[in-house]
Structure 1
Amino acid sequence: MDNDHLKKIVEGALLASGRSLDIGHLQGLFDIDQVPAKDQLLAVLEDIENECGNRGYELTKTASGYRFQVRQELAPWINRLWEEKPKKYSRALLETLALIAYRQPLTRGDIEEIRGVSVSSEIVKTLLEREWVRVVGHRDVPGRPALYATTREFLDYFNLKSLEDLPALSEIRDIDSIDPELSLQVAETREAETTENAEEQLSDSLEESAVEQEMPETDEESRLQQN
């Protein structure tokens, strides 16, 4: 199959899917004797991405695959298509999400110990319903509390390809390289401060991204944001 025809099929599939599609999903659109090679699909996706350069939407690679979405800088105008205001999440929810993202897996008790305040059941319920976190196991202690970790949906929503795209805690490594003789107590103190700052940065980033991206869940939304 020539690339031009393949490109049209891929574009149509991405527009109609309403979610991210990976290479396996795209290959699954074809009969066994017509399945395009991975390299051919990657080349087509690269062409589509380049062609979107001057358009109001873009092809984005997420943790789950590829999708079309409206460019974030256009959100102030596109949001006016809906009368309902974008949902705003509380600072406590975003701080909880940031802690899970950095230190996963965590129990609810771990989060409460770090934040110094209780975590409401509503926050945990919201994170689970949004599929931003999931239960990945239980700690082997009395009560067997659930262990929470982030999901692919979390990465997709906040436009992260992987957890490596989170703000880096490079300062910790820099401390070790500058003075490897630092006492454990000093290193632990500096690490806690650095992690806290990075978590605050991520929380701010998540808050901004959530306000910009959250729209009422309608059929039209999937065609614009594609997930």
Structure 2
Amino acid sequence: MTDSDLHDPAEPTDSPQSESLFAAPPLAEQERMVEAILFASAEPVGIPELHARMPHGCDAPAALSLLRRRYEGRGVQLLRVGDAWAFRTAADLGFLMTREIIETRKLSRAAIETLAIIAYHQPVTRAEIEEIRGVSVSKGTVDQLIELEWVKLGKRRMTPGRPVTFIVTQEFLDHFGLENARDLPGLKELRAAGLLENRPPPGTEMVDEAAQDDGQEGLFEPDALGDSDPLIEDP
């Protein structure tokens, strides 16, 4: 990741300092402000929100760049989560900070496969999910993923009927430590790990997924994708 990744492509390329009539605080002070905001926030914070909360003329991307370098190699690191930023415990030290209580909530095979298809093919419509899986998708399957806050509605397709699309959420990326969906493992890695199985080719006769045996393990294991969702408690 380069420092240029810190800049939101939707924002003007000019520094906020050049657009303000007021002198901005020193960059070191802006870095402290960003650090305080991120530490106090329970959710990742985007650059527009940082600018909204900081004094006029502040340059949040520049402050984030300094802050990210300051925390390199430390026990806590500044990570990008989708279009936002958050402090997270270094991956190799996570075992020191958590205590897990396993709550068994096994996802069905249909839900696991639907989640995988959405993650790899987003934005994707219900009809496209059914074509890839070779079976119909019940409303309850999608509702379960939306309730977990791992899937949300995307933009409607400009096609007849204007079907709604589905995409994964920032919470999904944050849960698996991904910057964006491009960081998901490839098909080769999934097959090597034994997590990808062949499905009936598109166009074959569809069956109702409710009639399937949902006890079979699917693409993602519970410990990896939260089927048994650990409740994380600070020590």
Q: Does the pair score TM above 0.5? A: yes
Higher helix share: 1
Partner of 2:43: 19
Residues 101 and 150, structure 1, Cα contact 8 Å, conserved in 2: yes
TM-score of the superposed pair, with normalisation by structure 2: 0.60
Q: Does 1:103 align with 2:121?
A: yes
Cα shift at 1:13: 0.8
Query: Does residue 5 of the first structure (1) align with residue 23 of the second (2)?
Result: no
Q: Distance in 2 between matches of 1:72 and 1:86?
A: 24
Structure-to-structure mapping, 1:136-151, within 5 angstroms: 136-137=155-156, 140=159, 145-151=163-169
Q: 1:154 to 1:17 in 2, by over 3 A?
A: same
Gaps of 5+ in 1: 170-193
Offset at residue 16 of structure 1 (A): 1.2
SS of aligned partner of 2:64: helix
Question: What displacement does 1:208 show?
Answer: 4.6
Q: Which has the higher contact order (CA 8 A, sep 6+)?
A: 1
Contact 1:20 1:66 in 2 (8 A): yes
The 5-angstrom pairing of residues 54-73 of structure 1 reads 54-55=74-75, 57-73=76-92
In the aligned structure 2, how far is the partner of 1:5 from the partner of 1:212? Answer: 43
Residue number in structure 1 paired with 2:12: none
Corresponding residue SS for 2:165:
strand
Seq. identity, %:
32
Determine if contact 2:119/2:167 at 8 Å carries over to the other structure: yes
Residue by residue over 1:71-113, the C-alpha shift from the partner in whole angstroms, topping out at 9 and shown as x without a partner, is: 4445555442x64637554443222111112223333343233
Query: Which residue of 2 is the match for residue 42 of structure 1?
Result: 64
Root-mean-square deviation (Å):
3.9
Provide the secondary structure at the position in 1 that maps to 2:58.
Answer: coil
Aligned length: 188
1:15, distance to aligned residue in structure 2 (A): 1.5
Identify which of 122, 126, 147 aligns with 2:144.
Answer: 126
**Structure 1 residue identity aligned to 2:37:** A
* Shift in CA distance, 139/91, structure 1 to aligned 2, threshold 3 Å: farther
CA deviation after TM superposition for structure 1 residue 67, in Å: 0.5
Kept in 1, the 8 Å contact 2:101–2:230? The answer is no
Q: Secondary structure at the match of 1:123?
A: helix
The TM-score, its normalising length taken from structure 1, stands at 0.62
